[in-house]
Structure 1
Amino acid sequence: MDEPRYDEVTKTYTTGHSYDGIEELNTPLPRWWLWTLYLTIVWAVIYTIAYPAWPLVSSATSGFLGYSTRGEVAAEIARVEEANFELNTQLAAVDLTTLQENAPLQQYAVSAGASVFANNCSQCHGSGAAGSVGYPNLLDDDWLWGGDIEAIATTVRHGIRNEQDEDARYSEMPAYGELLEDGEIPALVAYVKSLSGLDHDAALVEQGAELFMDNCTACHGENGMGDRDQGAPNLTDSVWLYGSSDEALTETITYSRFGVMPPWSPRLSDAQVNAVAAYVHQLGGGE
């Protein structure tokens, strides 16, 4: 390393570094840049003291200002709840069969119900409520437990086949793989498909019809149109929760299905339950 020298051309001292004859000028940083750097350091120190900043084992430093984004959100929620208190009180106590007679309350219920649905129901039924395999489509008119607004509210409030709510909708299909002999399940599949006019093995329909009468009519009815009191699906309308292929129906008959919906009453208020029932009811499939 050479001794720094004064460069007459640039009027600046060199650093003393030389690389293959190329020298490095010791050009100082602009004063404005240095003061900006110092100010950002001071600002960072003040910010970490004043606001929540440093993560700890199970929490974080709170800051002497006591600011909290959670607290800010909670305050905003409280403000909105206070503003809607009267409407929510009315909605919680309303007779759902007469809700449409109160246009402002109906409009509020549908709007609020859309938010409730997006936050709690769309994960299973989809953002558009069209459902998927194993999760009912709420846009059509095929309802296992009834599609009027009161039936929908009951389903939302208590759920289906769960162990948390004594009033949950409940039905259970036997696993016929343990009850039927080899070759009988394909015959039953063929007959069930014939009820909805789907392609099927016509040679097996007669045997399947006998099996259906002996094993399935108690729930699905002799005509296969189901029973809403038991949550038994209508097998004649070409609406299939788990699919209508031979493979899907074989699995359903062999092992049965046991879909579970949680009860929402512990997490949703009466007003929210009624709101989401109103929203789902007006989507197009409500009866």
Structure 2
Amino acid sequence: MAEVERDSVSGRETTGHEWNGIKELDTPVPRGVLMFLIVTHIWAIVWWFLVPAWPLGTTYTRGFLWTDQRTTVEAQVVEGQQERAAWMARIETEPYNAIMADEALMQTVRHTGRQLFGDNCAACHGRDGKGRANYPDLTDGDWLWGGSPELIEQTLRVGINTAHPDSRIAQMPAFGRDQMLEREQVRSVAAYVYSLTHPDYSTPQNIDRVNAGREVFVTTCATCHGENAAGNLEVGAPNLTDAHWVYGGDLDTIIASVHGGRQGHMPTWDERLTKAEIRTLALYVHDLGAQQP
């Protein structure tokens, strides 16, 4: 009979295995771990019989509980579609004023609209709708074609500078590049536009250029932006007298805009989204601007 070796420190038997002077102790599995393994194995066996588990050719064992996650999910999807259909029908058919007066329905609009906006609009306008470089901020209440739900819906439906027959058209000519204005005229009208939001720029050193720019503006730019430069919602010409800019309001950027022109683009959504989804987005975007102080 082989002699049993015991560890001098712990008093446990060794297995006889040794690695670089380190001997392995013959330590039993802790009782708690052993019980846990036994219980989980028993539970797994019981669960096999309770729920669908084993494939049998073209079918499978149904389980004594007769639970079926696929059937459950399908039922939940149908239920969700029925609930969704009710309020989507209201959004599709009811006037915007009636929808906005129903706070419970507007909560649904905000929840669903946030998802639609994130999936379709956030890439350009940002997740929060505050815009990105060369894309307008939708939360500041400063609109190119108007911020009513009806007008926002139309913009979503037909797009901007698209192939849609009713597309909104927005293009600022390249006054400098196409030689419609001389270089000094470009710089002067840019200085005038800059002075509209930066009155302190009209210093004695700059006032002659600003005044010259005013004359260029009246003869060249007022047709779209208005003589007071407050913009024109009919043609999507932005207000140049506020602090809201799409491409940037510093002097160099304004010069670049006058020289090279600007042309925005937004795709049409009338064939990508349903009427109810477009109206939901219109309400959501309108709500973004309405919540601002």
Shorter-chain TM-score category? 0.7 to 0.9
Q: Determine the C-alpha separation between the residues in 1 that align with 2:71 and 2:256.
A: 50
Calculate percent identity across the aligned residue pairs: 34
Q: Determine the C-alpha separation between the residues in 2 that align with 1:273 and 1:71.
A: 32
Does the 8 A contact of 2:12 with 2:25 survive in 1? no
User: What is the Cα deviation at residue 97 of structure 1?
Assistant: 4.6
Name the amino acid aligned to 2:225: H
Q: Which residue pairs with 1:58 in the alignment? A: none
Q: Which residue pairs with 1:131 in the alignment? A: 131
Q: Which residue pairs with 1:54 in the alignment? A: none
How does 1:18-167 map onto structure 2 within 5 Å? 19=20, 23-25=23-25, 27=27, 36=37, 76-100=76-100, 105-163=105-163, 165-167=164-166
Q: Determine the C-alpha separation between the residues in 1 that align with 2:25 and 2:237.
A: 87
Q: Which residue pairs with 2:193 in the alignment? A: 192
Out of 208-217 and 5-14, give the one that drifted further. 5-14
Q: Which residue pairs with 1:251 in the alignment? A: 256
How does 1:156-235 map onto structure 2 within 5 Å? 156-163=156-163, 165-178=164-177, 179=179, 180-198=181-199, 199-200=201-202, 201-235=206-240
Does the 8 A contact of 2:171 with 2:264 survive in 1? no
TM-score (norm 1): 0.73
Out of 26-35 and 82-91, give the one that drifted further. 26-35
User: What is the Cα deviation at residue 250 of structure 1?
Assistant: 1.4
Q: Determine the C-alpha separation between the residues in 1 that align with 2:6 and 2:174.
A: 97
Does the 8 A contact of 1:5 with 1:16 survive in 2? no
Does the 8 A contact of 1:109 with 1:274 survive in 2? no
SS in 1 for 2:210: helix
User: What is the Cα deviation at residue 126 of structure 1?
Assistant: 3.2
| Cα distance per residue 1:36-69 (max 9 Å; x no partner) | 49x88xx8xx9xxx69xxxxxxxxxxx979xxx9
Does the 8 A contact of 1:131 with 1:137 survive in 2? yes
| Structure 1: 5+ residue stretches without partners | 52-62
User: What is the Cα deviation at residue 7 of structure 1?
Assistant: 0.7
Structure 1 pair 282/15, CA: closer, same or farther in 2 (3 Å)? same
User: What is the Cα deviation at residue 189 of structure 1?
Assistant: 0.7
| Cα distance per residue 1:171-213 (max 9 Å; x no partner) | 1111122223232221111111233344253221232123223
Structure 1 pair 229/29, CA: closer, same or farther in 2 (3 Å)? same
TM-score (norm 2): 0.72
Q: Determine the C-alpha separation between the residues in 1 that align with 2:20 and 2:107.
A: 78
User: What is the Cα deviation at residue 278 of structure 1?
Assistant: 1.7
Does the 8 A contact of 1:97 with 1:150 survive in 2? no
Q: Determine the C-alpha separation between the residues in 2 that align with 1:162 and 1:72.
A: 44
| Cα distance per residue 1:205-231 (max 9 Å; x no partner) | 232123223322222222222221211
Equivalenced residues, count: 266
SS in 1 for 2:16: strand
SS in 2 for 1:17: strand
| Structure 2: 5+ residue stretches without partners | 62-68
Q: Determine the C-alpha separation between the residues in 1 that align with 2:74 and 2:140.
A: 38
Structure 1 pair 188/64, CA: closer, same or farther in 2 (3 Å)? farther
- Aligned-residue RMSD, C-alpha: 4.0
Out of 272-281 and 198-207, give the one that drifted further. 198-207
Out of 227-236 and 198-207, give the one that drifted further. 198-207
Out of 69-78 and 100-109, give the one that drifted further. 69-78
Q: Which residue pairs with 1:56 in the alignment? A: none
| Counterpart among 4, 7, 11 of residue 5 in structure 2 | 7
Name the amino acid aligned to 2:194: K
